[in-house]
Structure 1
Amino acid sequence: MGLHLPDRREFLGLAGLGGLVVASALPGCAQLGSPASAGEDFFFVQLSDLHWGYANPKVNPEPQQSLTRAIAAVNALPVQPDFVVFTGDLTQTTDDPKLRRARLREVQEMAAGLKAPKTWFFAGEHDAALDRGEAYLEVFGGALNYSFDHQGVHFVVLDNVSQPAPVLGGAQLDWLKEDLAGRPPEAPIVVLTHRPLFALAPQWDWATRDGDAAIALLSAHRNVTVFYGHIHHEHHQMTGHIGHHSALSVMFPLSPLGTAAQKTQLPWDAAQPFKGLGWRSVDWRAGAARPREHLLA
């Protein structure tokens, strides 16, 4: 009997992807079936908080393997994602501008090894806070905030990392208002950002000071889902009808909110060397975003 390989529709219907720890349409993810949300099924992959250049053997003694493992895991999928998005903190902070650029280029070169036909990048505070994104833009080009469309879904990338404070700023909020103008209220929108837009834990820098203004603009649309990074563990939050979903880190896990008195990098566990590290796939079917978390192995 010949080997049966799933076609695209069959693959998007699978629930048993390797390393799966969470599945299903989470609360706050788009569930509309209107013509405005129709389109071909597709899926994309989110990689976050690579922290390339990180060096603390007590937390991750094999830092160079984490990103290569994540890339290999995505490349091993039986069907490749439509695109891969890197949601910030591509590199570890350094005061050396030459080293910062070198690390960004190394990430760019490694990401070129992905089989997916398209990759999208944006900065985290480790990449952009010290120079307002100058090095990042020099290496990756483009803009720190931008939007694009894919299969009838509007994707919005917001920059809440390149200013000295964790803010979007008036100019970017004006840009967001203009970007959303004229889009039908039921049109599906996915927001990609690094820090959470809502005040998850301001004392740990897990917030955006003017994020409420962005949420207010987005709330006029009924079909909005936000994916972000920064907090290095899985978390799900609703602001009205908008769901916000954080991603695992590729490099090191942080203590989940409520489990430690202060933000803490979790120590390496030799028995479970990749515990708490991973990536996300997001299936988009019939107007619904279905995120799934995958552990590195």
Structure 2
Amino acid sequence: MNHSGNTRRDFIRLVAAGGGVVYLSGLPGHALAAAGKAAAYDDFHFVQLSDTHWGYSGPANPDAANTLRKAVAAVNALAEPPDFIVFTGDLTHTTDDPAERRRRLAGFRDIAAGLKVKTVRFLAGEHDAALDAGAAYKEFFGDTFYAFDHKGVHFIAIDNVSDPGGSIGQEQLAWLQQDLSRQARDARIVVLTHRPLFDLAPKWDWATRDGAKAIELLMPYTNVVVFYGHIHQENHHMTGHIAHHSAKSLIFALPAPGSQDKRTPLDWDPAAPGKGLGFREVEAEARPVAYAIQEFSAQGA
């Protein structure tokens, strides 16, 4: 990818002014806005990838054995490397065989190791963790929920998949409450999770049973944004002042929430094999507090 001599900062400003695929999630007091307003200079940027489903085989993606590798190559080709990369769940495709689950997790890990960025963080999806409460996932990637700080932003990774019922659970909610208690009310907080915390489409399992409790804990904090996966498409939603942004998948696209009876994958288009698939860069901007999102196809175009 080449920005024709512009810096990453210039490119984001150019796209924001010119109407490209950038969303500005401004906090506090700024609703989700489509591109059209000039963005402030960024502090740092990270890349979000999601729903790679390594091990999937089927008509929804005949190129499944190559899609993840292509995405790794596309991220490595970015004009400026991100500060870090995060995968927001469903690293692998579900299997009832514990040995096969571990083979898939190892295969995913080995491909992701090709990313030319020092720090790569992972979250589990229900395909990785629901059948064994995250046991195999933890062997390869460690804790299923955790927090870290980066350049003035507090990141919180929430596990809403290890419970097969799709709950966070009281123990983790207590941990979340304790973690938040150490943050100022105007702290910059980014939540990373797999399922949506709000009820997007409960009949499709696009919800978290006790997600409202997590949102209630987050609501007193004025600078909160949530990035998640699971639904294999972009979706932008507000709960009060908290913006929620879902990411595209790297394996197959799914229909719009509730648009049909079942959430069957969208048909593969051989004329456009990357259609509906992709990853994103997120610019974390300090003043005003905002997050500029730029979407890329799985091939990086």
Q: Give TM-score, length-normalised by structure 2.
A: 0.89
**Structure 1, residues 112-155: CA drift from partner, whole Å, max 9, x if none?**
111122100010000000000000011122x1100000000000
What is the SS of the residue equivalent to 1:24?
A: strand
Matching residue of 2:141: 140
Distance 2:249 2:242 in 1: 23
Contact 2:15 2:21 in 1 (8 A): no
Contact 2:201 2:258 in 1 (8 A): no
Contact 1:39 1:151 in 2 (8 A): no
Matching residue of 1:250: 250
Contact 2:167 2:211 in 1 (8 A): yes
Range with bigger deviation, 110-119 or 144-153:
110-119
Contact 2:153 2:189 in 1 (8 A): yes
Contact 2:50 2:88 in 1 (8 A): yes
5+ residue gaps, structure 1: none
Matching residue of 2:21: 22
- After TM superposition, give the deviation of residue 250 of structure 1 in Å: 0.4
What is the SS of the residue equivalent to 1:15?
A: helix
Asked which structure has the greater RCO (Cα within 8 Å, sep 6+), the reply is: 1
Distance 2:11 2:200 in 1: 34
Distance 1:235 1:113 in 2: 29
Matching residue of 1:126: 127
Matching residue of 1:116: 117
Distance 2:270 2:53 in 1: 21
Does 1:162 pair with 2:162? yes
What is the SS of the residue equivalent to 2:175?
A: helix
1:25 maps to amino acid: L
Matching residue of 2:232: 232
**Structure 1, residues 195-242: CA drift from partner, whole Å, max 9, x if none?**
000011110000001000000000010000000000001111110000
5+ residue gaps, structure 2: 31-39
1:243 maps to amino acid: A
Does 1:55 pair with 2:57? yes
Matching residue of 2:36: none
1:130 maps to amino acid: L
Distance 2:278 2:238 in 1: 23
Distance 1:288 1:43 in 2: 12
Distance 2:124 2:205 in 1: 16
Matching residue of 1:76: 77
Contact 2:198 2:212 in 1 (8 A): yes
The number of residue pairs the alignment matches comes to 284
Contact 1:148 1:155 in 2 (8 A): yes
Q: Superposition RMSD on alpha carbons, in Å? A: 2.2
What is the SS of the residue equivalent to 1:91?
A: coil
Distance 1:146 1:32 in 2: 28
1:233 maps to amino acid: Q
**Structure 1, residues 256-288: CA drift from partner, whole Å, max 9, x if none?**
114322211111111111111001110112221
Q: Give TM-score, length-normalised by structure 1.
A: 0.90
Range with bigger deviation, 169-178 or 63-72:
63-72
Distance 1:157 1:190 in 2: 9
Does 1:195 pair with 2:195? yes
Contact 2:253 2:277 in 1 (8 A): yes
